Amino acid sequence: MFRSRASLGLAPQVRQLMAPKWSHSVPAALMVHYNVPGVRNYSQKPFPVGSKEFQEQNNLKKLPKWKQWAIYFQSNEFKRGMTIYYVCGFGVMCVAFYYYMRDRYYEDKQLKHIRAKYEEDPASLSEYEYLKLKALSNDKLKPREQKKYRMYQMMRKEFRRKHIWDGEAMFEPTPQDLQEWYSQQARTKTSAAVTEDDVRSENSAEENSQETTRANDNSAICAPQDTTAFFEEKAFDYDNEVKWEERGILMGRRRRWLMKQLRGDVLEVACGTGRNIPYFDQDEVNSMTFLDSSRNMVELAQKKFRQKYPRYANAAFTVGRAEDLVELQGSEQVKYDTIVEAFGLCAHEDPVLALKSMASLLKPGGRIVLLEHGRSTWDFINNHLDFRAPKRMKTWACRWNLDIGELIDDAGLDITYEKRVHLGTTWMLVCKRPEDPLALEEKPFLDKLFGRETKGIDKGKR
């Protein structure tokens, strides 16, 4: 602590009197000329009262605080101090940049190694290497693969931190390593977004396609049930109850996007009261079939459609469950160019079976277009969805914490377009069957530019 020469020999009470009352409100650098306890005094005059500087300081202290700071920021003291901060900041940035570039260098080195392995024998790639190559190629990772890849990347970060001085160390984890690492992490923090089951299933996409139904693995998701009776009762109040919420989050725009995707012969599954009907473009659609498991809902949709498009002849209205689509068809086997669904998967008893049934009714090159709500991209939102799941089920017969991406995966479909809005809880998806090729507009930019086929990463027989 520095004391002014003038104040050293004085009694504490006198020193207190001499200290300006504003000493707390003015930046320290502005007070160096005065007898402020605790601040170094450079003044040669022991009693500067009445001096020019003192007057200036007095005027200064009358200014609002933000102005005092503004003047301080323009002072030479501040600028001199800042030079040091700039130099230090630049140094820190250089170090961070060095480590970042070093990491990129090692990653590139490893990628070359993976590519060489792939050229030699695709089957020799480990799960991580396959995911890494796929993530960097035009081949889109499936939702479950994406989750696992994110976890591998987290594990990789930790690996690089541990091997910070070892340039030769290659990150080559096995699925077992990932599982062990994950269990270690899970002991310290639980991630709502990733379940242990995600880690365990090494070859999830293939496994899943063999299972009839594989519900999301989260125990916070309510047990599935047939919600037909609930919506049968709700039908007449449905529009009134959802309209304000939908207006509040501009859902009309999303519904418009959904209906813009319709082409040729169209089937709308879980049509409800026909909330998408206002966005229907009759010029693009040859025929339109509406289906819902609730008779009241179908009747309301039919009334709405007939009022809006009285001359449109190729419209049909059917009562039936999405899971039974194939049986409903009987021997007729009508196929569709587009199958569309809005907020239906959360209400189905078996959403995976419903998706599979939809896929089997697609014409070659047909698309399933979905506007759904489900898990978010944010953990804190997912925690809320999980916490309120039972209440939501009771009031809306809706399982709003389902992971829609996993349902698509489990149904064995490919996603060609994905957009998430409303903090990631609203999913806008276009899906296709794996055997159908990508349409021109769905191809990655370079493939589109050169008119070439988009080649996926060959998994090889592992």
- Sign of the alpha-carbon dihedral angle for 87, 88, 89, 91: positive
User: CA-CA distance, 301 to 292, in Å (whole number)?
Assistant: 10
Number of residues that this document lists for the chain: 462
Nearer to ligand SAM, 245 or 453 (CB): 245
User: CA-CA distance, 116 to 157, in Å (whole number)?
Assistant: 23
User: CA-CA distance, 252 to 267, in Å (whole number)?
Assistant: 20
Question: Per CB under 6 A, does 337 bind ligand SAM?
Answer: no
Task: Give me the residue label for tokens 């310290």.
Answer: 188
For every residue of 366-407, DSSP letters joined together read: EEEEEEEE---SSHHHHHHHHHTHHHHHHHH---TT--HHHH
Which region, judged by CB under 6 A, interacts with ligand SAM, from 43-51, 58-66, 174-182, 286-294? Answer: 286-294
Question: Per CB under 6 A, does 227 bind ligand SAM?
Answer: yes
Residues 72-131 that bind ligand SAM (CB under 6 A): none
Which region, judged by CB under 6 A, interacts with ligand SAM, from 5-13, 150-158, 227-235, 448-456? Answer: 227-235
Nearer to ligand SAM, 345 or 413 (CB): 345
Question: Per CB under 6 A, does 321 bind ligand SAM?
Answer: yes
Q: How many residues bind ligand SAM (CB under 6 A)?
A: 21
Question: Which residues on neighbouring strands pair with residue 264, listed in sequence order?
Answer: 285
Among 294, 338, 376, 425, binds ligand SAM (CB under 6 A): 294
Residue type, 433: R
Among 140, 156, 275, 399, binds ligand SAM (CB under 6 A): 275
Q: State both tokens at 220.
A: 């916070």
Nearer to ligand SAM, 204 or 401 (CB): 401
Nearer to ligand SAM, 342 or 429 (CB): 342
Angle subtended by helix axes 379-387 and 389-396, to nearest 10:
60
Cβ 432 to ligand SAM, closest distance in Å?
21
User: CA-CA distance, 211 to 438, in Å (whole number)?
Assistant: 26
Which of 206-218 are b and which e, b meaning 16 or more Cβ less than 10 Å from the residue's Cβ? eebeeeebbbbeb
Question: Per CB under 6 A, does 292 bind ligand SAM?
Answer: yes
Nearer to ligand SAM, 349 or 418 (CB): 349
Contact assessment for residue 145 and residue 175, using Cβ atoms and an 8 Å cutoff: no
Question: Per CB under 6 A, does 347 bind ligand SAM?
Answer: yes
Question: Per CB under 6 A, does 271 bind ligand SAM?
Answer: yes
Task: Give me the residue label for tokens 């277009």.
Answer: 369
Among 198, 323, 409, 414, binds ligand SAM (CB under 6 A): 323
Among 149, 152, 171, 231, binds ligand SAM (CB under 6 A): 231
Q: State both tokens at 382.
A: 């997912």
User: CA-CA distance, 389 to 383, in Å (whole number)?
Assistant: 10
User: CA-CA distance, 167 to 106, in Å (whole number)?
Assistant: 7
Question: Per CB under 6 A, does 374 bind ligand SAM?
Answer: no
Which region, judged by CB under 6 A, interacts with ligand SAM, from 154-162, 341-349, 376-384, 439-447? Answer: 341-349
Among 143, 272, 405, 412, binds ligand SAM (CB under 6 A): 272
Helix (H, G, I), strand (E, B) or coil at 294: coil
Cβ 218 to ligand SAM, closest distance in Å?
20
Nearer to ligand SAM, 293 or 376 (CB): 293
Among 322, 353, 393, 415, binds ligand SAM (CB under 6 A): 322
Which residues of this protein are in contact with ligand SAM, per CB under 6 A? 227-228, 231, 269-272, 275, 292-294, 297, 321-323, 342-344, 347-349
